[in-house]
Structure 1
Amino acid sequence: MKIARRGELAPGKMKRVDHDGRRLLLANVDGKIHAADDTCTHEDASLSTGSLKGDIVKCPLHGSRFNLCTGQVLDDPAEENLRTYPVRVDGDDILVCLD
């Protein structure tokens, strides 16, 4: 499913996309696009307003960090991994499989 255009997401940047009632986080890590749920698994905080360092996103509320490649939680207080989604880039279109 087309979620965004590649030109909307510069390397090292991330953005929130609302699609069909889901809040998704898109991140451009060195030219590779990653997609995950935008809501921290600890509390209702938007990860897109946090910080991105490499493929690690840090929650702005309590500092939990997640690996965007695997969804693995790296720091407390979050204990549940982040759901990630397969991404394919077709030309300038960013396609995310939400199944």
Structure 2
Amino acid sequence: MSEVSTDREFVRVCALDELPTVGAAAADIHGRIVAIVRTEDGEVHAVDDTCSHANVSLSEGELDGCTLECWLHGSRFDIRTGDPSGPPATAPIAVHTVKVEGDDVYVALAAPDQTQQN
């Protein structure tokens, strides 16, 4: 997972067993909706839950490896970098720092200006 500034506050989001074995779930962190994603190899990532193209929930989409696909138009995002991997989305989504301590998942939000919309 990518690291961001350590001066950000980590917030407990959920227990690890509350996440799908593989897939995404939405969480509200201080009014910001975030997709908490667990991959096949057990890594946990967090990205903004809103597609930068169509303004719909990414946590409702399909996960393929480290790529989360928007269910509406098929935009795909790398959950490690937030970068889109093809149209129609051209703007990245914000990536948040995750740590797992014991059975708890914590997220530190990226700065709000890291979220870009088309």
Same fold (TM over 0.5): yes
The question of whether the paired residues in 2 share the 8 Å contact of 1:12 and 1:54 is answered with no
Once the two structures are superposed, the pairs formed by residues 1-80 of structure 1 within 5 Å of their partners are 1-29=11-39, 30-80=41-91
Give the unaligned 5+ runs of structure 1. Answer: none
The question of whether the paired residues in 2 share the 8 Å contact of 1:7 and 1:92 is answered with yes
CA-based RMSD of the aligned residues comes to: 1.0
Moved more, 19-28 or 3-12: 3-12
Q: 4+ residue runs of structure 1 moved beyond 2 angstroms?
A: none
Name the TM-score, length of structure 2 as normaliser.
Answer: 0.80
- Count matched residues: 99
Question: What is the aligned partner in structure 2 of residue 90 from structure 1?
Answer: 101
**Distance (Å, rounded) in 1 between the aligned partners of 2:20 and 2:70:** 20
Query: Which has the greater radius of gyration?
Result: 2
User: Where is the strand percentage greater, Structure 1 or Structure 2?
Assistant: 1
* Aligned-partner residue type, residue 36 of structure 1: V
Give the unaligned 5+ runs of structure 2. Answer: 1-10, 111-118
